[in-house]
Structure 1
């Protein structure tokens, strides 16, 4: 159980190491930067000190040269300053020139080298006498030799020489000069005539070429630190003594100009291959620039060496600190193993695991919190176990109730379906009845119309019978004239026959309509049958009348009795016609009343059909709602079963805890 503690200890150690690395790296970089700046400032001061020291040495060297040259010039002036004169009209050739003759106490000095050679032998200095020829100063005698060993006579002083203007003004000039590849400390002294005009110039020079070369050689060997050096730069930007290690000396005029503009302050510059740090100090008598130089690598070497030592010490300190912290963490985190064991026991379901807490630090507080969590988990698991049991029992009850409700809804759905079918059948039957009632209403209307027509015919038949009765009455009174009127009676008999046929036809039609009317037209059919029989008998009577008319002429005697019998029959026919007319009127009234009743029945039947349709629609809505309710109850039952299953799983999960 030490692995978790080790992981935490190592994680904290790694985190501490990273923090220390960042802090140490930052502080080391800051220290290196500060060290580099301090080292650079120290180097700058050191180089400036070395440069000033060299300037002091050069000042001493050149000061001694100047003093020596001035002493030599004083000796030379004592010999030549008095007694000099120029004979301008006399010109003597000196080398390629013919300057005026210069005399010293009556002795011509042109091409006379005795005095200047003697001075050289005595003082080791060179001497030259210039004679003025207009604006030029011509060398007429000298102990100065050219590179080829010949004397430098017959030459003029360069007008660009710094001494030229001073000499024209009658002033002396002391300074160094490069003459025929040799360095001299020189003094030019003008000689005036009594009128104050400059007529000649005395030159004394002290050759310090070898001494300067030895000095430059010493400078080249001199080192500041390991590779630092001193360098000299003349007024033309040429290196008299280049820095040690410099490989490219050309093309640095701009860099050197910038460097010499800030004397005493260091600057980095590069010759193209290596970078240097230099401090410039002017040497006015040169006029030169003294440069104290040191390669950047040497300056940085100190920084890197000290930085490496500092980094090594920092890394060592970091390792020791991390090791100490790791040891301390492992020691202090040892109680975490017990916490891990308790957590694993809780994870395995053992809620009775408890820790013995002895420390009062954060780990002790954590252990006590673990104990409290175990107790809370045990209480919570007990509650969950009880709740799961209750949920299971309640879900079983809910499942049973849902099953009963589902069966009831199924039965209700069947009954609603049956009721909906019956209502639809009733609606269809009502629609058929309404159609039949409308047809019957139309038939009743037609029957009433035919009855009215039959009544009208019966009225006509009654009128005809009354006419026959009147005729028979007349026949009784005029029986004597019956024979003469037999033809007329025959016509009347024809009319009666036609009326009888028409009556028979109307009676037949009335019987047909009564048969159509069914039960309600049964009485009308009986009347119609009687009317038809009456019509048949009327036809038979007319036939008999015809027979009788035929025999009127032969049987006059029996005519009266026959007429009386016919009158009786007429009265019976009138009575029958009156009865038929009354029956037809009653049939018409009953047909009209039946039509109205049929119309009312049709309206009621239509209303019943609409009500049945609405009831069928409502039953369908109830069936749909019942189906949805059945689905809800089914889902509720399924949910109850799922809840029971989850409760069982919850009991199994809770059963893992002890």
Structure 2
């Protein structure tokens, strides 16, 4: 590549840069268009997803309201009947008769569309307490039991028919056995009885005619009497209307591609446009998951769970809608395909434009580079001609094309003129260098001889300084050893001081304790004196008691048999007084002995305190003496340390001087070597000056 012409290099470089720029711009624009497409698709998809969610939410809420309203309206019938019957039972004078209850239920069923049956059933004597009067049975009472149980149904032709309830059917309402789903068979009755609240039964299939079943549910309300369960009022509601609503909602969403399922509280299918064969069955049999109110959108489907609140029964059903995302977002996919086609066409047009522009620019570059390289070729020929004439600096170049090249030729001629002058000056300088090289050679020889003599003298000085440094090191070692020994002595004395200080503290403590003991003994002596006074009082009381007992005995003797008991008591009192006197005498003797011993203890303590004080004073004097010894040893240690420091400093100074002398010797040796080198360089410089003069003489100036 280095051997190619400037013209070729310019063409290749310019074309390469242009192509690289074009490709980079194309790639950047393509990436920008793809990014724009992705952004548009992301925003479009997001907007469509929000629109789909809003649409599904709106439709689900609208149908949820319809379903809740249907259930609430149907619930008003049993609620009204229960309220009316409870009010009558609370006021017996206003209580409807059994035939009137029968008439009330029949008329309500005729007025209610979508209700397949209505009933009111009571516990034994739960209504009016007149079951015994109706044992024979009636259309409104069970034969053999007399309980009020009314049941009306709507036939397939729309006619209202009353169903007579027998004893077996009446007892069946207490059946607690469970069906395949774990629900009690008589949950319609037992739920209200157990909870005392309205109950909405799970949907179930009921055979209305041979081979034909209908999905139904029961809406029951407990009837209370005095706050206790008396019976139940309820209706059976036909649920095909909910299947119709599910199918209608499914058809209105994305050409019937949406899956709509109405689910009861326990997860039974009430209506579904995809699983009509699973009505009244659990969701799991249709491969569905029970709703929980949490977002469940998957990568492939939008899933909405709309709760349906049935306030009358405090229950909740769910309306589930599932729509495939591919269907709901089909418009976004169409937009994506259109954008892809548009971007591909745009990229093809850009590529064609780049090819055309590249060809045009290449032609212009060839013409422009040719106009630049032609004058340069002319300059190259002139310089080659100049180099071929054995260094003839007297030649001049003549260039008359292009302002820049004309200036370049002028600058080259000026450079040749300056070079000619420099060569002439160099010849003169070469002669001067030759003469100076001879002088440097002579000077180097003289300096080498002087340095040899100086090196011998420095070796003698270095030996003397080494001996002085060795002596200083020995002195420093002895001083250091003495300092260590004085420090050891100081350490031992400090330990003796600490021991003496602890002894002084212990003696002070002992003196204080003895003072406290002396005070305690004095208090004991005082207490002993007080006890002696008390004993004197007790002794006087005992003597007085003895006299009183003696007088009592004399009076008892005078009284004869009447005072005999009193005489016995008087003798006992006298005996007790004598014992008290003897006891006080013994205590007095003990107190006297105690006072004698206490006095002796006080004397011994006073003697001990006096001796302890003397010991403290001696300890203080010894402590002060040790302090003086420590101070003097510390002064000795300081002097020895100063001597050691001075010796070390002297040794360090000697070493420093010795090192400096050695460096001076090394420097002198180096200078000798440099002098030898200077001698050689002077010879080489003289030869080089001669060679330079010969070469410069070859140039024509």
TM-score by length of 1: 0.43
Higher gyration radius (CA): 1
